[in-house]
Amino acid sequence: MKNTESSNQCSNSARDWMKEALAIAGQASIDVPVGCVIIKDGKVIAAAHNRREEDKDPVGHAEILAIREAARAMDSWRLDDCTLFTTLEPCPMCAEAIIQTRIAALYYGAYDLKSGACGSAFNLFKQGRIYPVPDVIGGIEEEECQRILTRYFEANVRSNSNNLKQHPLPPDES
């Protein structure tokens, strides 16, 4: 990662954009509430929340959906000079999509110790890759981002205990 800083040093505008992503995350009905906004020249050009369950789409992560929308808005797969805000540290699939599309900066909220690819579980943002690596800043509005995820999983574990037999949670590795 380059130019990583803590959320305490983050600008107010970054916090405001993350609050936009949190609002988008709140629109998820049956999916894990992750929201993403992509900014270009101070304007939102794309916004999405997770839709894997809703769309029966295995790659329906908020970041992938927002990247697709931004590419259409810019009429290019290159998202140069764009900034992506997401409420959860991107997984390897989303992290690589961020790198491949040349997004300039990535801000995320909650850390994902199980599958985060910005350094928590993996680090795809190492310098020296053949593609430009965006600036990565984590922990923006971290508590609120974590809170909505915790509420979602607590509610779903309680209310969907029958589904857990079909889709068991992975064992805790702690």
Catalytic residues: 63
The 3-state secondary structure of 67-79, one letter per residue: HHHHHHHHCCCCC
d(CA 160, CA 143): 25
Q: 96: closest CA among 122, 60, 73?
A: 122
Count helices and strands (H / E) in the chain: 6, 5
The helix or strand, by DSSP H or E, that contains position 16, with its residue range, turns out to be helix 12-25
User: In sequence order, what are the beta bridge partners of 114?
Assistant: none
Locate 49 and state its tokens. Answer: 């929340």
Distance in angstroms (rounded) separating the CA atoms of residues 87 and 61: 12
* Token pair listed for 157: 């574990």
- Record the tokens describing residue 93, joined without a space: 């699939």
Residue owning tokens 């850390």 = 111
